[in-house]
Homo-oligomer: A and B are copies of this chain.
Amino acid sequence: MTYCVAVSTNDGLIFCSDSRTNAGPDILSSYSKMHIYDLGPDCLVVLLSAGNLATTQAINSQIDADLELSEGESLANCEKMNDVARYVARVSREQQEHANTTTGDADVDTSASFIVGGQIRGSDPAIYRIYKAGNFISASEETPYLQIGESKYGKPILDRILSPATGLEDAARCALVSMDSTIKANATVGAPVEVLVYEADSFNANHHVKLGEEDPYLLEIRRAWNEAIQAAFSNLPLFDWEKRTTRSLRAVTDDRTP
């Protein structure tokens, strides 16, 4: 399994992905699921992938091969991020069909899904979720994030924190906490965790970090969040009957005061 999340804020984009790949509980390995296409001073594209590893590798190879050709559609000649989404969706569908044909009746799930995002000069940064069927959706003001893979565990914190006004680094920390909750809950999602912070109009992968299982910052975020959550708990409002108990205890104490 996999967990990837991308956030679109007024200031730019955040991408976050885990690196665990599994084919059964005893075949765990580590592969980056974040591919960065730095296409010169006017275009940056980031691709996060989920699903069958052979299929996603074939799709990445096809995208690379198209970039090397001087003609035909490729990431380099898309004019808008919407074209990028349409192009990746087409490559994804073609390679999934090919994988289906190749594996025949071996009963393997060869599907793949993606988040693609970035910016091309002349338009705003954008992120898209590409379904395995080849259709795609973008983020919105109301839901400024997109997820693929094992997305349920990490959703509540995104819902509670994110808005288009969230600062870039806060959005990155929110994605990290969402990832950490998922890693804690599901053994098929695991470090290294990659985080990419893209500042609008920079056309640069401004900050790209890869945090291993024992990375001090990841451990620090986990510890700080656990402590903060526990502190937050102690301030939640009491049930009615607790107030009564507290009041009557106080009454008893008051009675004892001379």
Contact = CB atoms under 8 A, between A and B. Distances in A.
Nearest to A206: B241
Interface in A200-224: 207, 209, 217, 220-221, 224
A185 B159 contact: yes
A65 interface: no
A220 B237 contact: yes
Copies of this protein in the complex: 2
Interface stretch (A31-39, A47-55, A148-156): A148-156
Interface of A: 152-157, 159-161, 169-170, 172-174, 177, 181-182, 184-185, 197, 207, 209, 217, 220-221, 224-226, 228-233, 235-242
Contacts of A184: 156, 159-160
A15 B169 CA distance: 38
Given A152-B153, A207-B241, A236 B224 contact: yes
Contacts of A235: 224, 228
A236 to B, nearest CB: 5
Residue from A169, A224, A239 whose CB has the most chain B CB atoms within 10 Å: A239
Contacts of A155: 153, 185
Contacts of A236: 173, 177, 221, 224-225, 228
B239 A172 contact: yes
Given A152-B152, A152-B185, A229-B229, 14 more contacts: A152-B153, A157-B229, A159-B185, A160-B184, A160-B226, A169-B238, A197-B239, A217-B239, A225-B236, A228-B232, A228-B235, A228-B236, A229-B232, A231-B232
